[in-house]
Amino acid sequence: MVSRDEVVAFLNLFKGCLELDLYGIKDREKNLQGLIDLGITPKERKEILLGLTPENYHSGPKPDDTDDTKEVWEFGTSVGNTEVYIKLRVVRIASKNTYRALVWSFHPAEFPITYPLR
């Protein structure tokens, strides 16, 4: 199992990328529909992501199912009465000696989320 310190380190790196606008949102219909279903804006989504804590941790790091050379981390949170599933990735861009974050998933949860650090 991952330690709280490891989750903190990942979140700090991820949030640093967000603050510097070094991030992207995976262009998936499910993510766009998720904003509509949740009744939030992209700006509100960013605020929610910046508010993630180790208590929101669900699982990871684990291999990305589309590229097993990269790792993803999974989190959950509530927006109103809806539990939200969040999958995140941070990759190092060697040519620029920097990092870039990717929000792979942000939509209402399709399964119950467990929170091992709560």
- State in Å, rounded, how far the first CA of the chain is from the last one: 14
- Smallest CA-to-CA distance from 74 within 10, 5, 16, 23 is with 10
- Residue position matching structure tokens 């709560």: 118
20-26: average pLDDT = 91
Residue-wise pLDDT tens digits, 67-97: 788 899 999 999 999 999 999 999 888 777 7
Domains of the chain: residue spans and CATH: 4-108 (3.30.2310.40)
pLDDT of amino acid 103: 94
Whether omega before 54 lies within 30 degrees of 0, making that bond cis, reads no
26-45: average pLDDT = 90
